[in-house]
Structure 1
């Protein structure tokens, strides 16, 4: 691989002159610039990004750490981050922790060794360990989707509690009172907030939750499928609130296998508004906002912090909580047999 000294030798100039041409750091005559550029093309010389970053004290790269790269939610989030960063001249290192706190820690070390300019992170759990690992970070950090307790960082997330309340209220307005809930891991703050919103909507209607009406899963389609099977075996709900769209899609599959018509026999609503929900059959009702837009917001927040880091170092961290909206599609409909039902007790 050609070096800057090789270019200098072919062009007949000093390697510092080559550096000035590459980095536009000092005026160079048109004749000398032409010689250097010709030598660069002939040798197929690629400037060292490491050397340039040391000089500029910037790598023009940011890290994105997510807990599950196979989940369409995080794929769409990553696309939003990438689009917004590319528009500002930043490249993105994408890292998937597979919901493994240990792998998450390893990726954090690698990203920081790469001297990234900033980091966007969605927690994979074990927030106390993650907060300690990031507490002494010199680069700006934006937390997205899941807040990390104990970490002083900018935050971008949906209003999880209100979204779950909206979804459950939608089912109640359609006449459903025997409603099951498929939640993500109970150890995550996101799951806790969404379950709280579900329970709040029921409490406002005076509906008591019965044992077995809330089933824990893992935010995956397979998990939603298995959880829905349990609900159909016990509670036999006329409505299901799934804690994310992937679990809602799994619930649609479980209903179809049992010959349970959606929404005639059971309405199903998810959370997140991932693009895939538009194309299920029936299309999945959901609550949320554009996931890609959330990624763009996280990237803009980070770039604003990077670009003004010296000036903004002492400014308060921002909490950008996005209001969700209800998107009623084909998977929810009125329950004609709701009269007289007052609880979620198993039928």
Structure 2
């Protein structure tokens, strides 16, 4: 039969409340008494009940994490950052993959509410999620990567506009003038920001965007492939393509190969995210690197600060920089790549 807190109290010669304070590190317990309680707990192989503890503290020491697509290598890196920061603070993480489906998202939000998670780290699949999440539902929420309009919560994002602007300017500097853009999901704030960076770079160069050179790829490999076939198979095909993520860029690379086009001789390709596969391709993919692990780690720390009452009342916004990683897919590789 498993030992109880009463057994530990009897063996240590103290009250049950003293055992609770000694084991939880809450309230004053003399060093000698704490040592006696810990020794008794170890001797009895006592394991505290997290359920019982949560009933008293009103906290489950559990965080929820919602991701749009766990098969995209960009998101597991964020999840690792969240998990590491949570584990250091003694929290567990429940990961939910929404498949970019609002119905799945709503389903998982309901489950996390039922599980009474202490807080939520969220990469929203659509703008509508901002209207479905309120502080009344979760004690604290932190958005990562994208912030739905009207969402009053902490957030960790990357300067997507500047990232794509830098990539497009790099292609312009290589002499390209017919540069296409493959964007993400319709209504995605991330995709809109990256499109804005592309358009800003063209405007700086005195170029008008060709509507036929702007395609949607839904942030997926298949979407990038379809967009690549349409762009590169047209009579006025572009000489360069900027994709709003690496999966779509890889789809464009496949389309180019099937159409008999050489990269970067016939068409230059640039992605976004710098997933591990990007540097392993032939040719290696020029891309905009995001600090994915830091995004997740910072988001979890912000959430824990909010839960501990150590955050200011107003929502915080952390904007991390993106970095262009130049490889051979754009025709200007470095370091032998």
Flag whether TM exceeds 0.5 (same fold): yes
> d(CA) in 2 for partners of 1:178 and 1:32?
73
Q: Is structure 2 residue 250 aligned with structure 1 residue 249?
A: yes
Is the alpha carbon distance of 1:14 and 1:300 closer, same or farther for their aligned partners in structure 2, counting shifts above 3 Å?
closer
Question: Aligned match of 1:316 in 314, 317, 321?
Answer: 314
Moved over 4 A (4+): 5-15, 21-36
Q: CA deviation at 1:275?
A: 2.2
Q: Is the 8 A contact 1:5 1:15 kept in 2?
A: no
Q: CA deviation at 1:328?
A: 0.8
Query: Which residue number in structure 2 is paired with residue 326 of structure 1?
Result: 324
Number of residues of Structure 1 aligned to a counterpart in Structure 2: 326
Q: Is structure 2 residue 167 aligned with structure 1 residue 167?
A: yes
Q: Is the 8 A contact 2:291 2:322 kept in 1?
A: no
Q: CA deviation at 1:135?
A: 4.3
Unaligned runs of 5+ in 1: 335-347
Q: Secondary structure of 2:60's partner?
A: coil
Query: Which residue number in structure 2 is paired with residue 111 of structure 1?
Result: 112
Q: CA deviation at 1:2?
A: 3.7
Query: Which residue number in structure 1 is paired with residue 186 of structure 2?
Result: 186
Q: CA deviation at 1:59?
A: 2.4
Query: Which residue number in structure 2 is paired with residue 131 of structure 1?
Result: 131
Q: Is the 8 A contact 1:81 1:299 kept in 2?
A: yes
Q: Secondary structure of 1:120's partner?
A: strand
Question: Aligned match of 1:39 in 31, 39, 44?
Answer: 44
Deviates more, 1:250-259 or 1:180-189: 250-259
> d(CA) in 1 for partners of 2:73 and 2:25?
42
Q: CA deviation at 1:57?
A: 3.2
Q: Is the 8 A contact 1:162 1:197 kept in 2?
A: yes
Is the alpha carbon distance of 1:202 and 1:55 closer, same or farther for their aligned partners in structure 2, counting shifts above 3 Å?
same
Is the alpha carbon distance of 1:129 and 1:78 closer, same or farther for their aligned partners in structure 2, counting shifts above 3 Å?
closer
Q: Secondary structure of 2:56's partner?
A: helix
> d(CA) in 1 for partners of 2:40 and 2:149?
57
Q: Report matched runs for 1:86-105 at 5 Å.
A: 86-105=87-106
TM-score for both structures, normalised by structure 2: 0.86
Q: CA deviation at 1:109?
A: 1.9
Deviates more, 1:280-289 or 1:223-232: 280-289
Q: Is the 8 A contact 1:165 1:197 kept in 2?
A: yes
Cα deviation, 1:132-189, whole Å, max 9, x if unaligned, reads: 3324235111111111111210111111111111111111111111111111112111
Q: Is the 8 A contact 1:7 1:15 kept in 2?
A: no
Query: Which residue number in structure 2 is paired with residue 228 of structure 1?
Result: 228
Q: CA deviation at 1:285?
A: 0.7
> d(CA) in 2 for partners of 1:281 and 1:111?
42
